[in-house]
Amino acid sequence: MNIAFSISEDILMAINGNANEFTHDLRFFAALAWYRKNKLSLGKAAELAGCEKLDFIARMQREQEPVFDYGPDELSSVFSDVAKLP
Protein backbone atom coordinates (compact mmCIF):
# COMPACT_ATOMS: atom_id res chain seq x y z
CA MET A 1 0.00 0.00 0.00
CA ASN A 2 1.24 3.47 -0.80
CA ILE A 3 0.27 6.57 1.15
CA ALA A 4 1.05 9.97 -0.35
CA PHE A 5 0.68 13.50 0.90
CA SER A 6 2.16 16.89 0.10
CA ILE A 7 4.50 18.94 2.25
CA SER A 8 5.86 22.41 1.78
CA GLU A 9 9.43 22.88 0.53
CA ASP A 10 9.89 25.02 3.64
CA ILE A 11 9.63 21.91 5.78
CA LEU A 12 12.55 20.25 4.01
CA MET A 13 14.56 23.46 4.19
CA ALA A 14 13.82 23.78 7.92
CA ILE A 15 15.25 20.35 8.64
CA ASN A 16 18.12 20.68 6.15
CA GLY A 17 17.03 17.50 4.42
CA ASN A 18 15.88 16.12 1.13
CA ALA A 19 12.76 14.15 0.22
CA ASN A 20 14.44 10.76 0.69
CA GLU A 21 15.81 11.62 4.14
CA PHE A 22 12.46 13.09 5.13
CA THR A 23 10.57 9.96 4.04
CA HIS A 24 13.05 7.68 5.80
CA ASP A 25 12.85 9.71 9.03
CA LEU A 26 9.08 10.01 8.85
CA ARG A 27 8.72 6.23 8.57
CA PHE A 28 11.12 5.70 11.48
CA PHE A 29 9.45 8.21 13.80
CA ALA A 30 5.95 6.97 12.94
CA ALA A 31 7.09 3.40 13.67
CA LEU A 32 8.73 4.54 16.91
CA ALA A 33 5.57 6.34 18.05
CA TRP A 34 3.37 3.29 17.43
CA TYR A 35 5.95 1.02 19.07
CA ARG A 36 5.99 3.29 22.15
CA LYS A 37 2.17 3.13 22.30
CA ASN A 38 2.33 -0.68 22.11
CA LYS A 39 0.40 -0.61 18.83
CA LEU A 40 3.28 -2.31 16.95
CA SER A 41 5.73 -4.98 18.02
CA LEU A 42 9.42 -4.27 17.59
CA GLY A 43 9.47 -6.39 14.43
CA LYS A 44 6.43 -4.68 12.91
CA ALA A 45 7.82 -1.25 13.80
CA ALA A 46 11.05 -2.17 12.01
CA GLU A 47 9.02 -3.31 9.02
CA LEU A 48 7.13 -0.01 8.93
CA ALA A 49 10.42 1.85 9.19
CA GLY A 50 11.66 -0.13 6.19
CA CYS A 51 14.56 -1.85 7.90
CA GLU A 52 15.64 -5.00 9.71
CA LYS A 53 14.91 -5.32 13.41
CA LEU A 54 18.57 -4.89 14.43
CA ASP A 55 18.87 -1.77 12.25
CA PHE A 56 15.74 -0.36 13.88
CA ILE A 57 17.22 -1.03 17.34
CA ALA A 58 20.50 0.60 16.28
CA ARG A 59 18.61 3.69 15.08
CA MET A 60 16.71 3.81 18.37
CA GLN A 61 20.05 3.80 20.19
CA ARG A 62 21.39 6.61 17.97
CA GLU A 63 18.24 8.61 18.78
CA GLN A 64 18.78 7.78 22.49
CA GLU A 65 15.45 5.97 22.66
CA PRO A 66 15.21 3.01 25.03
CA VAL A 67 14.42 -0.26 23.32
CA PHE A 68 12.52 -1.55 26.33
CA ASP A 69 10.91 1.00 28.61
CA TYR A 70 9.41 -0.82 31.57
CA GLY A 71 7.95 0.96 34.58
CA PRO A 72 8.49 -0.28 38.14
CA ASP A 73 5.27 -2.36 38.17
CA GLU A 74 6.11 -4.01 34.86
CA LEU A 75 9.65 -4.82 36.01
CA SER A 76 8.34 -6.28 39.24
CA SER A 77 5.97 -8.48 37.26
CA VAL A 78 8.78 -9.65 34.96
CA PHE A 79 11.08 -10.50 37.89
CA SER A 80 8.23 -12.25 39.66
CA ASP A 81 7.65 -14.42 36.58
CA VAL A 82 11.37 -15.15 36.27
CA ALA A 83 11.51 -16.24 39.92
CA LYS A 84 8.88 -18.89 39.14
CA LEU A 85 11.04 -20.53 36.49
CA PRO A 86 12.61 -23.87 37.40
49 within some domain: yes
Is 25 contained in some domain? yes
pLDDT of residue 50: 96
The per-residue pLDDT for 35 is: 94
Question: How buried is residue 48: exposed, middle or buried, by Cβ count under 10 Å (0-12/13-18/19+)?
Answer: middle
**Domain presence at residue 60:** yes
pLDDT tens-digit map of 34-82: 999 999 999 999 999 999 999 999 999 999 998 887 778 877 887 888 8
**Residue 2 counted as domain residue:** no
Residue 47 falls inside a structural domain: yes
Amino acid type, 76: S
Mean pLDDT, range 6-16, rounded to an integer: 89
Domain assignment present for 3: no
Please give the Cα distance from 28 to 31 (Å, whole number).
Answer: 5
Domain that residue 65 falls in: 9-83
Which one-letter amino acid corresponds to residue 77? S
Select from 32, 34, 36, 45 the least CA-distant residue to 71. Answer: 36
pLDDT score for 5: 86
In a domain, 4, yes or no: no
Q: Can you tell me the mean pLDDT for 3-18?
A: 89
Q: Please count the structural domains in the chain.
A: 1
Q: Which of 48, 26, 18 is nearest to 35 (CA)?
A: 48
Please report the pLDDT score of residue 71 as a whole number. Answer: 78
- Rounded mean pLDDT, 22-35: 95
